């Protein structure tokens, strides 16, 4: 049957195309969203599941403004890989899922984070100016007044800084 299998760089085996049932508990190993009721690809041998959209839209390697020093490679976290965290959103990276990783620096980013966090953004928290994502340390968020991680949004003129999550929810 044409189109029922896919060779994908994320897995050494052929992935089978299938319609996930509405009650399926599988999640996409690229975007981490539920596959229930969706079309995707599966490798039973490796326990890999990918949305049809994700299989086509994420590349094996990317360049990314938040880590301009090296190319990021879409890599699978080992099933025993507990404790991995996305360096952008600071959420856990589930074992077996895929992350964009810099092998040299051990910088990790969820594939979805490389798309949902733009380099420059306008926010209702600071509507006067654009905010730019930058690496920095030793600062406090202008919204929630707690310490900031390495990656944060900053106003170049006012120097006010925000968590990525505060900007996205504000």
pTM of the predicted structure, to 2 decimals: 0.79
How many domains does the structure of the chain reveal?
A: 3
Query: Cα torsion at 161, 164, 165, 166 (round to 10°)?
Result: 20
- Looking at the DSSP bridge assignments, the partners of residue 65 are none
* pLDDT at residue 3, as a whole number: 62
* pLDDT at residue 66, as a whole number: 86
Q: Does residue 71 sit in the same domain as residue 102? A: yes
Q: Does residue 48 sit in the same domain as residue 71? A: no
* Residue 99, domain CATH: 3.30.60
Q: Does residue 123 sit in the same domain as residue 154? A: yes
* pLDDT at residue 5, as a whole number: 85
Q: Does residue 145 sit in the same domain as residue 102? A: no
Q: Does residue 111 sit in the same domain as residue 67? A: yes
Q: Does residue 111 sit in the same domain as residue 137? A: no
* pLDDT at residue 2, as a whole number: 47
117: CB partners within 8 A, 6+ apart: 66, 88, 89, 133, 164, 168
Q: Does residue 33 sit in the same domain as residue 70? A: no
Strands 5-7, 131-135: parallel, antiparallel or unpaired by DSSP?
A: unpaired
Considering 115, 131, 149, which residue would you say is the last residue of a domain?
Answer: 115
pLDDT tens across the length of the chain (170 residues): 446 988 888 888 899 999 999 999 999 999 999 999 999 999 999 889 999 999 888 999 999 988 888 999 999 998 887 788 998 888 899 998 999 999 998 899 999 999 888 899 999 999 999 999 988 888 999 999 999 988 899 999 999 999 988 988 77
Q: Does residue 39 sit in the same domain as residue 66? A: no
Contact 97, 76 (CB under 8 A): yes
The boundaries of the domain holding residue 148 are 118-169
* pLDDT at residue 130, as a whole number: 95
Q: Does residue 83 sit in the same domain as residue 106? A: yes
Q: Does residue 68 sit in the same domain as residue 105? A: yes
Q: Does residue 72 sit in the same domain as residue 42? A: no
């Amino acid at each position: 049957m044409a189109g029922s299998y896919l060779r994908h760089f994320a897995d050494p085996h052929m992935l089978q195309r299938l319609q996930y049932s509405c009650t399926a508990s599988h999640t996409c190993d690229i975007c981490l969203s539920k596959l229930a009721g969706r079309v995707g690809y599966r490798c039973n041998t490796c326990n890999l599941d990918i949305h049809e959209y994700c299989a086509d839209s994420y590349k094996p390697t990317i360049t990314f403004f938040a880590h301009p020093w090296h190319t990021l490679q879409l890599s699978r976290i080992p099933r025993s890989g507990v404790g991995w965290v996305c360096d952008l959103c600071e959420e856990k990276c589930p074992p077996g899922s895929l992350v964009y990783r810099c092998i040299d620096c051990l910088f990790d980013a969820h594939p979805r984070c490389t798309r949902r966090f733009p380099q420059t953004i306008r926010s209702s928290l600071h509507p006067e100016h654009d905010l730019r994502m930058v690496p920095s340390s030793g600062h406090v968020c202008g919204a929630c007044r707690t310490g900031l991680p390495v990656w944060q949004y900053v106003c170049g003129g006012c120097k006010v800084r925000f968590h990525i999550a505060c900007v996205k929810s504000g």
